[in-house]
A and B are shown apart, each in its own frame.
Chain A
Amino acid sequence: MSESSAKPVLLTMQDIHIDGRSGDTWSPIIKGVDLTLHRGEVIGLIGESGAGKSTLGLAAMGFTRDGCRISGGMIDFDGIDLLAIPERERRALRGKRIAYVAQSAAASFNPAHKLIDQYCEGPVQHGVMPREKAEADAVELYRRMRLPNPEEIGFRYPHQVSGGQLQRAMTAMAMSCRPDLIIFDEPTTALDVTTQIEVLSAIRDIVAQFDTAAIYITHDLAVVAQMADRIKVLLRGDEVEESDTRSMLAAPKEDYTKSLWAVRSYARPVQPPVTTGVPVVSVQNVTAGYGAADVLKNIGFDIHARRTVAVVGESGSGKSTTARVITGLLPPRQGRILFDGQPLPPDYRQRSRDQLRQAQMIYQMADTALNPKLRLRELIGRPAEMYLGLKGKALTERIRDLLALIELEPEKYIDRLPSELSGGQKQRIGIARALAAEPKFIICDEVTSALDQLVAEGILKLLDRLQSEFNLAYMFITHDLATVKAIADEVVVMQNGRVVEQGPKEEMFQPPHDPYTELLLSSVPEMDPDWLTRLLADRAARRAGQG
């Protein structure tokens, strides 16, 4: 607040009301929020999904998604009343003076055109600079965004560039007309922690260099702490509180904000490691892959009853492939899977019904893991009907019990469709479906990564409770180390299809580490506004020391 308030005001939004249409009625999404942004200042918008962060961010451009309308309030951008001018003039501003960086760069770039063609479109269309100059400018910005080979990378197509690089290319594109304001809509949510660091630092530097004001939308508190001068917390379309980053982190005023902070502290009690007895699942010297390439190279670990083994690593490290080998979707080339000491047939089609019943899976995206046309009664009831032979009244009774177990009221939910549930509720149904088979072992594949923190915490607590109630063994696939801290007993760190380190959780979070584990651990954002600066300085110093 200190330095920025001295600068002139760039954007003022007063008493903004935005409605969304559902069927024939309009219901409010944003209920009277104010926002003031000075030149060169970064404001962070945080809140759960459905809080209206993106809607408010887009409204700063005078834009709403289809089916939404701005029903009240005033938006003043550098002396221009955005709601009063015609659409044509608003369009002339967008891209030129106000730019937008979307969450998924991979989905937002047009796959049919080269990056540099898409970069040049804005400046040329808006008449800011001719094509040749725009191309030279692109290379310059690519360099500033620390993209590899800045001279050549623009001539690639989006699919030839990695996710983190695409996100940086998109930020460079947003910078092409040197806008006064950029709206970042969760730009790093889809990235791995190690990639996230690069994107965050590049964004932070370039925003500072050009003195651009920014609205930074995210649900990750630790990220916003690094990026924003001020933070505004939203809840269901209302502002909860706003203050500058340091005082917000040090002393949140409202209960809701405090509850957001508190989530990070959930951890289950430490349990002694099991070394004796037959493990429920034992992965032994497994090598597997698609086509000619090996995705997994000679991996092995054990999972005991009542224990949670977290498998961590970046995308592409082979976590999900491990799950596919255990479930039998991908028969391994070498090695074997033991279940209770007995070898499992490599292909799921050769496994007996009882073997299939014993190992269940919960998927990352509950949206695609639940058949949208089936009611909960059938979704949950089918495994019980199939494996346990329950019918009629007994089956209904079992479905009710299961719904009660996952803390959903049976009467209210039993005949609903998945589309009539929230994200967290859908994930609970995924858990209930796994439990219905009465398994010994459950694979949880990134089950919380698509959920808000508060909801995710509820899911973790539920899984924890069910584990002690039913003696379950979990294999927990995740890239989120905060989740690992919360729920794991043992950790397996994977990189490029190999296990680089494994052991009990307490040991894993204590040095000394394998270099890759060290990189992963140090890349997890912390709730400290100086964390990123310090980390980058550390890494630079270490690199200098080595060189």
Chain B
Amino acid sequence: MSVLFTIFWIAVAVVAAMALGWLFRWAAVAASRGEARRALKTAPLAASFGMLVILIYVVVALFAPLIAPYAEREVVGAQFLPWDATHPLGTDNLGRDMLSRLVYGARNTVGIAFATTALAFFAGSFLGLLAAAVGGWLDQVLSRLVDILMAIPALIFSLLLLTIFGTSIVTLVLVIATIDATRVFRLARSVAQNIVVMDYIEAARLRGEGLIRLIFREILPNALAPLVAEFGLRFCFVFLAISALSFLGVGIQPPTADWGSMVRENATLITFGDVTPLLPAGAIALLTVAVNFVVDWQLHRASGLKE
């Protein structure tokens, strides 16, 4: 019976997600016009649902002080209080309101992950495209440098760097961005290498185009589809990497609310069959799935695939 029950609830969740996606798409189409409207009309339900989830996360992150019932670091009661009317999700190991910390966690974890991914992307793809477009010694120097960085296991390397430079948020962002930029570099370079041999690049070179225009007008638009797909994946990896580092204690430092460390702090409750400590993990999972739904859809559009 319990298996059937689980299947039933999964079905309900999927239907509810689709319904939400459908409603969101309807609202978004009504609210937009022009190119965006046409694009939204053809968006699959999964992508609409993903956009809705991302929108909710963004709103929550932006208006955290207004939404959260208590302050981020305020001790409001006893430790590990159960769910009730005053504390909808109970309290954590120090007696702070769990819901409030989840809300503030969105701001910290998502914000930092986004900044890190954007930085990694900007640096990685620019250098990758540059290496492919220029070739020769520049390509050799950059590629070997990236090889060296990639030869060291990512988690151990970031632990090492964070131990050396200290665990401020700025160093955290820079360290993870550097490590992830190497992966983006490799992808951007290999995609661009297939593009720079095309006749239209030769035509542009013979026309006398400068390097910057060559990269941004001729190569980048054609490399966008795989890079967009990579952005979605990379965002999830960065997100997980930050949470993992926080779980290990070198990421975002307490008392700042962060989903990764929240799981660790409250892990004891799992042994008592309480799902509360898994909620931050669930929040991470939901966002990664949502991001990938949207990225899949964008990838589809960018690559011009019909099926």
Contacts and interface: CB of A to CB of B under 8 A. Distances in A.
Interface stretch (A364-372, A467-475, A495-503): A364-372
B208 A370 contact: no
A386 B208 contact: yes
B203 A374 contact: no
Given A23-B306, A374-B217, A419-B304, A369 B207 contact: no
B306 A368 contact: no
B31 interface: no
Nearest to B307: A67
B85 interface: no
Contact of B221 (A22, A361, A368, A371): A371
Contacts of B222: 371-373
B223 to A, nearest CB: 10
A369 B200 contact: yes
B205 A348 contact: yes
B218 interface: yes
A437 B207 CA distance: 9
Contacts of A53: none
Contacts of A333: none
Most A CB within 10 A of own CB, among B200, B217, B306: B200
A361 B206 contact: yes
B221 A374 contact: yes
A327 interface: yes
Given A371-B200, A419-B304, A327 B221 contact: no
B74 interface: no
B215 to A, nearest CB: 13
Nearest to B205: A348
Contact of B202 (A22, A329, A382, A419): A329
A278 interface: no
A382 B202 CA distance: 15
B158 to A, nearest CB: 36
Interface range on chain B (Cβ under 8 Å from partner): 10 to 19
A356 B206 contact: yes
B35 interface: no
B208 A356 contact: yes
B84 interface: no
Contacts of B304: 419
Interface residues of A, number: 26
A227 to B, nearest CB: 33
A363 interface: yes
B82 to A, nearest CB: 52
Interface in A42-82: 67
A348 B221 CA distance: 25
A172 B222 CA distance: 41
A319 interface: no
Interface string B180-208: 00000000000000000011101111111
Contacts of B207: 356, 382-383, 386, 437
B221 A373 contact: yes
A22 B306 contact: yes
A23 B306 CA distance: 6
B203 A369 contact: yes
A329 B200 CA distance: 14
Nearest to B208: A356
Interface string A346-389: 00100101001000010101001111111000000011001000
Most A CB within 10 A of own CB, among B203, B204, B209, B306: B203
A336 interface: no
A433 interface: yes
Contact of A433 (B203, B208, B224): B203
B304 to A, nearest CB: 7
Contacts of B200: 368-371
A363 B203 CA distance: 9
Contacts of A419: 304
Interface string B52-96: 000000000000000000000000000000000000000000000
Most B CB within 10 A of own CB, among A22, A23, A329, A373: A373
Given A353-B208, A371-B221, A433-B203, 4 more contacts: A363-B199, A369-B198, A369-B200, A372-B222
9 contacts: A348-B205, A348-B206, A348-B208, A356-B208, A365-B199, A370-B200, A371-B204, A371-B218, A383-B207
In order of increasing CB-CB distance, the 5 nearest A-B pairs are A373-B221, A369-B199, A371-B200, A368-B199, A363-B199
